[in-house]
């Protein structure tokens, strides 16, 4: 039983679907948490303290890292298989088939963009927060000389999104995630066998709605912190 998850196409797809579901649930949580940073920076820092270097936050981080690794590993295996199955000789002329989304044909590329963004994101935040706590550092010196506590997430957000290029990079990252999820979210239901002709329009609508909600939640924080530090009227109050 255990091996059909490694040696059968549908088993491998199930792993993709379940790891995808896990990542979607995590990202929903992460997005909700971030939005707090707009409403109340103090509240956000309280969450950061709660999710510091204690056993449950560390266990969560490890499980999450495993989830990403499994999802990425299987994505590579499946995509490589598919590349082989397509054969060496390709069509000279191709046309876009009606009703086929661009995202669905570019999931690996989108995923790799998401992964690269994730790498950068970890250096911006995780490396200055949980990692520092693990190293028992209670102060982090930022490039501009500012000294912050590793649990002061709001200060790190403000520091990171003061720079326009970080804002742009993060927005591109969110857009890639949006595309990935507009296909991924309904696709995971299809893979698990929970879909039919009645439910396709509903699942696709839900996928678009959820992907958009996630995008807006994340983008709002980034844009809010940029604008708040640059617009003269916001800076005044």
Partner 1 sequence: MNFTLKIWRQKDAKSKGAFETYKVSDISADTSFLEMLDILNNNLVHEGKDPVAFDHDCREGICGMCSLHINGLAHGPGQNATTCQIYMRKFKDGDTITIEPWRSAAFPVIKDLVVNRGAYDQILQAGGYVSVRTNSVPDANAIPIPKADADESMDAAACVGCGACAATCKNGSAMLFVAARVSSLAKLPQGRVEGARRAKAMVAKMDELGFGNCTNTGACQAECPKGISIAHIARLNREFLRAKLRD
**Binding-site ranges for ligand HEM (CB under 6 A):** 13, 16-17, 20, 23-24, 27, 68, 71-72, 75, 79, 107-108, 111-112, 114-115, 180, 183-185, 187-188, 191
Pattern 131-170, partner 1, x by CB under 8 A? ----------------------------------------
194 binds, among partner 1, ligand HEM, none (CB under 5 to 8 A by kind): partner 1
Question: Near partner 1 by CB under 8 A, which window of 8-16, 30-38, 139-147, 209-217?
Answer: 8-16
Least Å from the CB of residue 206 to partner 1: 15
206 binds, among partner 1, ligand HEM, none (CB under 5 to 8 A by kind): none
Ranges within 104-133 binding partner 1 (CB under 8 A): 104-105, 107
Binder of partner 1 out of 32, 54, 73, 86 (CB under 8 A): 86
- The CA distance from 227 to 236, in Å, is 12
Query: Which residue ranges make up the site for partner 1 (CB under 8 A)?
Result: 1, 4, 7-14, 78, 81-82, 84-95, 97-101, 104-105, 107, 183, 186-187, 190-197, 200
């Amino acid at each position: 039983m255990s091996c059909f998850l490694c040696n059968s196409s549908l088993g491998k797809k199930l792993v993709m679907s379940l790891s995808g579901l896990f990542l979607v649930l995590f990202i929903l949580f992460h997005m909700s948490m971030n939005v707090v940073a707009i409403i109340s920076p103090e509240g956000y820092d309280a969450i950061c303290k709660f999710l510091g270097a204690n056993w449950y936050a560390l266990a969560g981080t490890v499980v999450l890292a495993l989830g990403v690794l499994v999802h990425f590993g299987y994505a590579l295996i499946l995509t490589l298989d598919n590349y082989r199955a397509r054969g060496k000789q390709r069509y000279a002329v191709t046309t876009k088939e009606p009703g086929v989304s661009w995202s669905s044909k570019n999931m690996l590329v989108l995923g790799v963009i998401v992964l690269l963004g994730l790498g950068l994101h970890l250096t911006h935040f995780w490396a200055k927060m949980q990692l520092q706590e693990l190293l028992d550092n209670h102060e982090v010196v930022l490039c501009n000389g500012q000294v912050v506590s590793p649990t002061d997430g709001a200060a790190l957000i403000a520091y990171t999104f003061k720079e326009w290029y970080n804002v742009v990079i993060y927005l591109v990252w969110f857009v890639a995630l949006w595309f990935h999820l507009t296909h991924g979210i309904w696709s995971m239901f299809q893979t698990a066998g929970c879909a039919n002709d009645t439910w396709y329009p509903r699942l696709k609508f839900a996928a678009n709605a959820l992907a958009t909600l996630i995008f807006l939640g994340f983008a709002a924080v980034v844009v809010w912190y940029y604008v708040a530090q640059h617009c003269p009227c916001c800076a005044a109050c």
